[in-house]
Amino acid sequence: MTATVAAPPRAGGPGRGIRRGEALAGWVFTLPVILILGIFLLAPVLMALWVSFSDWTGRGSPLSANVNFVGLENYAAITVDGGLPTRDFGTSLRNNAWYVLLVVPIQTALSLFLAVLVNRAILRGRGFFRTAFYFPSVTSSVAITVLWLFLFSATGVVNEVLSWLGINGPNWFQDPTGIVHNGLRAVGVTSGPAALTENDFLGISWWDWMAGPSVAMTAFILMAVFTTSGTFMLLFIAALQNLSAEVHEAAMVDGANAWQRFWRVTLPQLRPTLFTVLTLGLIGCWQVFDQIYTGTQGGPSKTTLTPAYLSYSSAFLDQDWGRGAAIAFILFAIIVIFTIFQRWVLRDRPVSKRRARQYQPSQPKEARR
């Protein structure tokens, strides 16, 4: 290592002296990874990109001569044409957006909460709780989905428990009504203002965009929180154990109570982990597929349809391969944009003046007195 750093600049270009062939060796060592990534990652992605701009119908090679370039046709079909494909895509985005909106904050908060609990030195049986909370994460999502279908069936355990509390539980996986709409209906609002019902985006009226996740999707949201919180809890535990006790102690000496210590001292130090957890959560949520595939296949009334599942069904079931690929790339763009946005929100900022003032002892006043 030190030799590399101390190496003198090359005197007469490559190919001479003791460092001859170093570049070649470097390439030879990296070649396997380049090949593997190229063949299994770059090539498929480029091919999918091509398919999304082509009229390939799923027979033979997408690169053969009788596959034509159709420009943005596939993208237009799902975004601006206004027909069934557009409405399906709009519906899937609506469903998934609500899913993300609820799952990401809840799972992040819950996993942080669990991590703080489990991290406390005085807790007895910490190992047991850590394992218990992590357990759902190591179980196959298909198995958990099947379990969930049983738990949330009309006569399932969840409804049985709810009935003890005098609540008549919904028919979870068969109930397509949106929970926001249901809430509004409870206060007597059954249809939205004309401004919302008559204007639409991607073939879905704004009123329907506001429907909230359907009861069926809510069951999936609970499941996602249940299964992923354990994984993120581990990330938070690792981060918490890396925090230096001195800073904490200093805050104690300064008289900060536990609540203040958490929000002002611990949480800011967890920012890198928070970013990781939010990003992973966001990506996972936008890509939700296996639960839908095994559980509901988009039903009831398409309220659990997600872009990932729609992409699969357009391609494999309806033979619209270009459209399926186009959906996948739009999904990719959404994820990238959200991640960049999140990075921007969580960036390291210089301390604002208002915030800085809080840390300034208010000496001038006292001095005057």
Partner 1 sequence: MTRHKTRAMLGTGALLVTGALALTACGSGFDDGGGAGGGDDSELTSSDEALTVLIGSSGDAETDAVTEAVAAWSEESGIEATVQVANDLPQQLSQGFAAGSPPDLFYLATEALAGYAGNGSLKAYGDLLSNKDDFFPTLVQNFTYEDEFYCAPKDFSTLQLIINTSLWEAAGLTDDDIPTTWDELADVAATLTTDGVTGLAFGPEYQRVGAFMAQAGGQLISDDGTEAVANSPENVEALTYVKEQMEAGSFAYSSDLGAGWGGEAFGKQLSAMTIEGNWIQGAMTNDFPDVQYQVVELPEGPAGKGTMQFTNCWGMAADSPNQQAALELVEYLTSAEQQLAFSEAFGPMPSVQSAAEQWTADNPELAAFIAGADYAKGVPTNDGISAVISDFNAQLEGLKTGDPQQILDTVQENAEAIVG
**In this complex, which beta carbon is closest to partner 1, that of residue 310 or of residue 330?**
310
Specify the residue, 118 or 315, whose C-beta has the smaller distance to partner 1.
315
Min separation Cβ 332 and partner 1, Å: 18
Least distance between partner 1 and beta carbon 78 (Å)? 12
Toward partner 1, which CB reaches closer, 31 or 345? 31
Q: Using CB under 8 A, list all residues that contact partner 1.
A: 27, 34-35, 38-39, 42-43, 46-47, 57-61, 63-66, 83-85, 87-88, 153-155, 171, 174, 176, 298-302, 315-319
Which residue type is seen at 216?
Answer: A
Q: In whole angstroms, how close is the CB of 287 to partner 1 at the nearest point?
A: 18
**Of 67 and 222, which has the nearer Cβ to partner 1?**
67
Least distance (Å) between residue 313 CB and partner 1: 8
Give Cα separations from 12 to 16, 19, 27, 207 (angstroms): 7, 11, 21, 72
Q: What's the min distance (Å) between Cβ of 68 and partner 1?
A: 12
**C-beta of 61 vs 163, nearer to partner 1:** 61
| Token pair 């960049």 in the structure block, residue | 340
